[in-house]
A and B are shown apart, each in its own frame.
Chain A
Amino acid sequence: DAKTTQPNSMESNEEEPVHLPCNHSTISGTDYIHWYRQLPSQGPEYVIHGLTSNVNNRMASLAIAEDRKSSTLILHRATLRDAAVYYCILRVTGNQFYFGTGTSLTVIP
Chain B
Amino acid sequence: DVKVTQSSRYLVKRTGEKVFLECVQDMDHENMFWYRQDPGLGLRLIYFSYDVKMKEKGDIPEGYSVSREKKERFSLILESASTNQTSMYLCASSGQSLNTEAFFGQGTRLTVV
B contact patch SS: strand
Q: How far is the CA of A87 from the CA of B48 in the complex (A)?
A: 19
Q: Is the CB of A49 within 8 A of B105?
A: no
List which A46-101 residues lie within 8 A (CB) of chain B.
Answer: 46, 49, 51, 87, 91-101
Kindly state whether residue B111 has any CB partner on chain A within 8 Å. no
Would you give the 0/1 interface string for A18-37, flagging 1 where the beta carbon is closer than 8 Å to chain B?
Answer: 00000000000011101010
- Classify chain B: how many residues form its interface, as a range: 20 to 34
Most buried by B among A34, A91, A95: A95
Kindly state whether residue B31 has any CB partner on chain A within 8 Å. yes
Q: Is the CB of B98 within 8 A of A95?
A: yes
- Which residues of B are found within 8 Å of A87, using beta-carbon distances? 42-43
Q: Is the CB of A99 within 8 A of B35?
A: yes
Q: Is the CB of A43 within 8 A of B31?
A: no
Q: How far is the CA of A80 from the CA of B42 in the complex (A)?
A: 23
Kindly state whether residue B64 has any CB partner on chain A within 8 Å. no
- Which residues of A are found within 8 Å of B43, using beta-carbon distances? 44, 87, 99
Residue of A nearest to B4 (CB): A43
- Which residues of B are found within 8 Å of A94, using beta-carbon distances? 56
- Which residues of B are found within 8 Å of A99, using beta-carbon distances? 35, 42-45
